Structure 1
Amino acid sequence: MKHKLFLMATMVLVLMFSLQAACFAAGPANLPAIKILATGGTIAGAGSTSSTTVGYTAAVAPVDALINNVPELKKVANISGEQIAQIASENMTNEVWLTLAKRINQLLSQDDVDGIVITHGTDTLEETAYFLHLVVKSDKPVVLVGSMRPPTAMSADGMLNLYRAVILAGSKEAVGKGVLVMLNDTIHSGRDVTKTITDRVDTFKAPEIGPLGFFTGDKPVFYRSPLRQHTTASEFDIMKLSTLPRVDIVYHYANNSGTAIEAFTKAGAKGIVHAGTGNGSIGKAEYPAVEAAQKKGVVIVRTSRVGNGIVARNGEADDDKYNFVAGDNLNPQKARILLMLALTRTSDPKVIQEIFWTY
């Protein structure tokens, strides 16, 4: 009898220790479960000296090193990480976007994931953010974060940026606001934000529109929400796509011609975003190439190289006559993303115009 009681007591103790170990492995139950998906960039970079803030090597440290470098993360979330890519963000591709978006949708469909943080280089961070803003199918927070200085530099900004991005991804305030960008204590919408300065930590801004909110201490405070459709309200589904339609950007300048448009058409472009002067002007010398491209089914979107303001339909071009799409207030690189996704649904310029007014 004593032997049986001893065995039962031993089994109970083993079960208790197993449950404690499982709870410890999972982390405190009251903290949000945040997955960090790493893609490289300056935040994972290294310089030769502590004063090196230009000319460093990006995408050196793996995701585990990023997490271990900020031990405070364990106090605000249950953290796990995955390495999706290890690149400087000027090397970002459509294929990486599709891989990243599909993995995010898989993770956010799980009950044990409350939010996602993506570490990313700053050069194309705004493009990845807008792409995900349009294709993620969850209200759970998705936050992109990067840094302007490598971790080896004096006053490196990446550690604090990552810490606050994790807090943001685990906050109830960020739910339903689409894909967010968090750097320099400032919270932006993935649709509106752009990199505005080549080398300073306050580079990310949303010209004219402004940020969604800010961090005060360790608390995110929002002042507005994005109104254009996104995430769960988006019509775009990439889960079964292996490629995206080719869309290129043509930059307008004095004395230019239709050569770039001709080359992109010949290369197989399905759409061309024209970064025009002023309110999206297209030069007379470009029109023959534009019309030839349209005869081959290429959709032309007018945007502006100015960086601010709305490109008005039938403003600097007769959009109705030429079947152009006015790009609203999207910059050329973001208009390219929306056009790629629109072309997965339709090639009708009139329908695509409605899409540009919706997103």
Structure 2
Amino acid sequence: MTIAFFGTGGTIANRGTGPENYLDYLDHGTVMEADELIAAHPELREIAEIRVEPFGALRSKYITAAHWAELAHRLTHVLAQPEIAGAVVAHGTGTLEETAWFLHLVVKSAKPIVMVGAQRPGSTTGSDVQRNLADAFRIAAHRDSHARGVTVVMNREIHSARDVTKVANHRLDALQSPVRGPLGVLGADHRVQYWRSPTTPHTQQSRFAELTTPLPRVDIVHAYTGADATAVEAFINAGARGLVAVGYPPGTLTRPMDDAVDAAVAQGIQVVQASRGVFEPAVTPRSGLISRGLIPNTDITAAKAKVLLQLCLAQGLTPEQSTEVVATY
């Protein structure tokens, strides 16, 4: 069984700056290429045959939509080859959830795609690099991982790309699924156990599978005490075709923001109304939102709502069609 390995950089590939230094590597540590990272962990080849697919050695904060598109194209191509059983993608945890969500929506393959990161460089005491990498390859090689879309493994938990988000800066359990919980776990005996499967469209069932159109600009604006129209108007003037408005729970904005959002909708800007609620973020599609032409967000994060709206706009969907997609995905 051959698993393709794509390295994009991040903490998981960082050489670190000392065994007890968990901070300075963020600014000064160098990042290994994919083949160097695999060579540093020869035990991985006891789990599966590995075919390294060099991609980059970036910090996750430098990942762009252009990187997403290239990675999606290469994954689709590699996974179409019959000798490849699945793929593992190493990525920095800062933006891992956004890359995973994009791939979850556009890669047309039922084969396992497992994204993995780490919170501590491999050279530090108590690093999670070795454990997370081994778990990722075990999951990618496991028969029950088929047709579950893109998954994320950290801290012995398996998460859906749709549900996972980073909730802490340094803890090893920083990636969690606060609303729906993980898909499964790995036990002390390395046994892979799935509790559930994703219930929304993804990968080969996604309407966005193999989408190649460049993503239009969509920005995120946040409500806070005293927030006015400045950010909304600035983003529209910068060329935004869509906005995600993160409101107070359960999805409300300040009066100046409401006025600015209504003006944006009147100009043809599609606006998703989100909430900053963490454990119950879904915005109920009440009449006061629908009548204004706003798109209620579901229980995905604002960053993921942004990606989904970008895909809707790239496909030329109407506000009504985008509303249906957001409700479904």
Work out which of the residue numbers 136, 144, 166 in structure 2 matches 1:165.
Answer: 136
Contact 1:117/1:143 (CA < 8 Å) preserved in 2? yes
The one-letter code of the counterpart of 2:301 is: N
Equivalent position of 2:3 in the other structure:
34
Equivalent position of 2:215 in the other structure:
244
- Mapped to 2, the partners of 1:47 and 1:177 lie a distance apart of 33
Equivalent position of 2:306 in the other structure:
336
Equivalent position of 2:23 in the other structure:
54
Indicate how the Cα distance of structure 1 residues 240 and 171 shifts in structure 2: closer, same or farther if over 3 A, else same: same
Which runs of structure 2 are paired with 1:180-191 in the superposition (5 Å)?
180-191=151-162
Indicate how the Cα distance of structure 1 residues 58 and 224 shifts in structure 2: closer, same or farther if over 3 A, else same: farther
Please state how far the C-alpha of 1:222 moved relative to its aligned partner: 0.4
Alignment partner of 1:147 is 2:118 = yes
- Mapped to 2, the partners of 1:285 and 1:111 lie a distance apart of 56
Contact 1:135/1:236 (CA < 8 Å) preserved in 2? yes
Equivalent position of 2:12 in the other structure:
43
- Mapped to 2, the partners of 1:228 and 1:112 lie a distance apart of 28
- 1:80-114 deviations in whole A, cap 9, x for unaligned? 11222221111211000000001000111111211
Secondary structure in 2 matching 1:72: helix
- Mapped to 2, the partners of 1:90 and 1:166 lie a distance apart of 25
- Mapped to 2, the partners of 1:59 and 1:332 lie a distance apart of 31
Equivalent position of 1:81 in the other structure:
52
- Pairwise CA RMSD of aligned residues? 1.3
Which runs of structure 2 are paired with 1:217-236 in the superposition (5 Å)?
217-236=189-208
The one-letter code of the counterpart of 1:283 is: T
- Mapped to 1, the partners of 2:210 and 2:311 lie a distance apart of 9
Please state how far the C-alpha of 1:154 moved relative to its aligned partner: 0.5
Alignment partner of 1:176 is 2:147 = yes
Secondary structure in 2 matching 1:134: helix
- Mapped to 2, the partners of 1:296 and 1:347 lie a distance apart of 16
Work out which of the residue numbers 315, 318, 322 in structure 2 matches 1:345.
Answer: 315
Q: Which runs of 4+ in 1 moved over 4 A?
A: none
Which runs of structure 2 are paired with 1:1-359 in the superposition (5 Å)?
32-56=1-25, 57=28, 60-216=31-187, 217-241=189-213, 243-309=214-280, 310-314=282-286, 318-359=288-329
The one-letter code of the counterpart of 1:35 is: A
The one-letter code of the counterpart of 1:36 is: F
Contact 1:36/1:80 (CA < 8 Å) preserved in 2? yes
Indicate how the Cα distance of structure 1 residues 320 and 239 shifts in structure 2: closer, same or farther if over 3 A, else same: closer
Contact 1:59/1:87 (CA < 8 Å) preserved in 2? no
Deviates more, 1:134-143 or 1:77-86: 77-86
The one-letter code of the counterpart of 2:6 is: L
Indicate how the Cα distance of structure 1 residues 167 and 58 shifts in structure 2: closer, same or farther if over 3 A, else same: farther
Normalising by structure 2, we get a TM-score of: 0.96
Indicate how the Cα distance of structure 1 residues 110 and 59 shifts in structure 2: closer, same or farther if over 3 A, else same: farther
The one-letter code of the counterpart of 1:48 is: T
The one-letter code of the counterpart of 1:183 is: M
Deviates more, 1:278-287 or 1:190-199: 278-287
Normalising by structure 1, we get a TM-score of: 0.88
- Structure 1 gap ranges (5+): 1-31
The number of aligned residues is 325
Please state how far the C-alpha of 1:353 moved relative to its aligned partner: 1.0
- 1:259-309 deviations in whole A, cap 9, x for unaligned? 101000001111100111111112111123212222332100011112221
Indicate how the Cα distance of structure 1 residues 308 and 41 shifts in structure 2: closer, same or farther if over 3 A, else same: same
- 1:209-232 deviations in whole A, cap 9, x for unaligned? 110100012221101111011111
Please state how far the C-alpha of 1:208 moved relative to its aligned partner: 2.8
The one-letter code of the counterpart of 1:271 is: G
- 1:172-209 deviations in whole A, cap 9, x for unaligned? 11001110000110000000011111111011111131
Indicate how the Cα distance of structure 1 residues 58 and 221 shifts in structure 2: closer, same or farther if over 3 A, else same: farther
- Mapped to 1, the partners of 2:262 and 2:211 lie a distance apart of 34
Question: Percent sequence identity over matched residues?
Answer: 38
